[in-house]
Structure 1
């Protein structure tokens, strides 16, 4: 009968495993055909037991010494157990038996790739490419090698070739997005995904990646539309809901964002990131009890969630519970010691509590970690000025200007400090620079030191720039 030439049924295959285990118990030698041995090996691989799978392969090779499939499986298992030397030997034997088998070169390429011998990896993948019928996975591996070499342009080329072979390959779509992101080529990314969608309009991964590219270009409305298509095609696509929520936050649509974030809970268990994001929305809506409740859920789920610890501090600060807020800012800083925003909040809380030295120390951290934060420089110098440290305030402003030469606010503030120091000539020089940089902001000067409105030298300089 023709059925005799087919591989064993599931029942027969399962019986092969039982028969094999019986042979081991009896310390005997049974004969199995190659198909049965393949099933037994795969059974142990699926059970995540590579040691038993290798043991079966030894039996299989002794009974079927010319079956390349077992040498390839052996090499694969050796790679999984970090035994590259034995894997190379198995592949060498397989190549002698069947040099046209693409898996030999694919696995050898894997070993070279894992050990960062990239040129040899590519050489073997090229051989596999010339022998294999389906090449999309090999092309993708070649893309990964080019990524590891820092050659993202070549990686993009290989990913696109892979996707031409198999448009369903989701990994390829995500890797392509990653490469475009690294190269900061969001426009090219958008163009590719739009063309891809023209060919395959039901690819939720393509819509999702298109949404991410729009998001990175701050085109939030378009991003939301793309995420909506991804969700329409794949209703349980929780990442698309989450990113849609992020886009809504950017548009200050906090109530809508909360609803979308909560929708992710229908399709995956709640996680710390989503709880934290919901907390931030409630914080923006000034619903501090709700915000704190979600921040607490976040840190309960992940105690290393620095943003959530910080968020609890922010809600307490909003309620003027400054001393309590410090405890949570410190917890956030313990996790992210170089986060300038955390130090800024800490500096402000110390200042409000009248702990000026601690505030100054925290401000020094803020400007160390983010010298481009103009508000931090202004606030820091104000604290120094209020303490009567006029020279330090002006020196701080000089540092601020050095780091932010385009910020007119800093020049106007410097004018105020130099006048307070009695250094009028330099003050007027800075005023001219400030007015050249942004004449419309001259009101800042009078907001800070109203008495300067009566200074004729200052008014004369301003009148030269403002008609």
Structure 2
């Protein structure tokens, strides 16, 4: 028994699902099938989408739109050869269908042939009456190719077609940011706002550009306009809070962060920022309260654990600082920042063996910051393991080859390890890098200040450098 679904087109999806559960066969026109298939594909129900395509093509074997949807599914499943064969068949029937080129471009993109994808999309542009989607796809291909200038122009075309296409607007600003053309972004957004003065998204992005350039009063004004345009725009309140922090207006910053909490469920990021504001105001109990709420809300937020650890560290309450950083390590033992902080706490507590282990963990996990090498070397020097100290400093200098402080330290450790030849080489190198930092060497290794060859070397370097 065949039934017509056109009587209630809005119920085509439920009718289709009802058909699958019964022996009845319902008739759908091709447009109904397109709607059904799009619904399933957009919701990730690929098997139902494929079933709808199969039945749709049984009822409408000549529908190019349904065949193109079949191509889309084949491409999604990485069945490129089958997809290409079907596209060849479609192209023989309708050579001027831009969707053919779009689908071929999608296949090339999935194969990482992005330039070929661009070429196909440009062909689609020549025959397309509505090129909005094609410009958007071109923009994404250019992003894959790291061609941010062309990507920017493609997304700009999308915004020209539709001022309310905020996704493309975000992408335009992203390209400006990547190109570090903040002035260009500000000019573009201001021009956009002349046409759309109540666009909260554009005001928000403009504020972020001003913030990136340390133009805090201008950023504040932009975020205020974003809030005027939409008084429930959480992002604008949050960014405004960050600007107020930069301006030292901590109580006002707290008010804005609290507004975000009143509009939506509390977030760990809002708690963290409120805690930092209270700490700067000297409201230590409140700061501690909000830091605890931060890690309670999101136990995996490393900034929360580091904030509460730093809070106790600054108060020289190393026992509590160690307690919280160890809790953090138990949650995420692969986080190098946790291990680095633990190492600094152990160093402050003069627990040198644990500090050595923690610094090693931090480096093994990818923390190569300058102070990591310097502090780790200091720990090993205090332990008296000069060979290991030398190796750590050599590693550090691979990352910071022109750092005078590390080079002076290495020269001093060579001396302590009775390697005078290498000590002279490194001391000469350090003084050529920065003679002014010689005092660091004198302060750290005062026992060598009276060594005659060292005094002679210093005098020689000073003479030749003037």
Moved more, 293-302 or 210-219: 293-302
Matches within 5 A, 1:418-429: none
* 2:212 paired residue number: 216
Identify which range, 394-403 or 147-156, moves more after superposition: 394-403
Task: Compute the TM-score of the two structures, normalised by the length of structure 1.
Answer: 0.74
- Describe the SS at the equivalent of 2:8: helix
1:57 counterpart (48, 53, 56): 53
**Aligned match of 1:290:** 286
SS in 1 for 2:189: helix
- Aligned partner of 2:296 in structure 1 is 300
Query: 1:167 is paired with a residue of what secondary structure?
Result: coil
Return the alpha-carbon distance in structure 1 between the equivalents of residues 49 and 373 of structure 2.
64
Equivalences, count: 449
1:183 to 1:338, Cα distance in 2 relative to 1, 3 A: farther
SS for the counterpart of 1:303 is coil
Q: Any conservation in 1 of the 2:312–2:318 contact (CA below 8 Å)?
A: yes
1:261 aligns with one of 249, 257, 263: 257
Query: In 2 relative to 1, CA 407–50 (structure 1 residues): closer, same or farther, beyond 3 Å?
Result: closer
Q: Which moved more, 1:38-47 or 1:392-401?
A: 392-401
Deviates more, 1:208-217 or 1:278-287: 278-287
Separation in structure 1 between the aligned mates of residue 363 and residue 17 of structure 2, nearest angstrom: 68
State which drifts further: 208-217 or 327-336. Answer: 327-336
Aligned with residue 179 of structure 2, among 159, 176, 183 = 183
Give 2:132's match in structure 1, choosing from 116, 136, 149. Answer: 136
Q: 1:19 to 1:151 in 2, by over 3 A?
A: closer
**Rounded Cα–Cα distance in structure 2 between residues aligned with 1:165 and 1:303:** 44
Spell out the pairing of 1:345-384 with structure 2 (5 A cutoff): 345-359=341-355, 362=358, 373=370
Q: TM-score, normalised by structure 2?
A: 0.74
Stretches of structure 1 lacking an aligned partner (at least 5 in a row)? 1-6, 451-457
Residue 203 of structure 1 pairs with residue 199 of structure 2: yes
Q: For residues 386-437 of structure 1, what are the alpha-carbon distances to aligned partners after superposition, in whole Å with 9 as ceiling and x for unaligned?
A: 889999999999999998799898999999999999xxxx99xx9xx99x97
Distance of 1:35 and 1:144 partners within structure 2: 29
1:344 Cα deviation from its structure 2 partner: 5.3
CA distance in 1, matches of 2:287, 2:31: 60
d(CA) in 1 for partners of 2:300 and 2:140? Answer: 31
Displacement, 1:69?
A: 1.9
Task: Report if aligned partners of 2:5, 2:26 keep a CA contact under 8 Å in 1.
Answer: no
Partner of 2:452: none
Other-structure match for 2:90 = 94
Aligned mate of 1:115, from 111, 118, 121: 111
Q: C-alpha displacement at 1:385, in angstroms? A: 8.2
**1:438–1:215: structure 2 CA closer, same or farther, 3 Å change rule?**
farther
Distance, in Å, in 1 between the alignment partners of 2:129 and 2:137 is 16
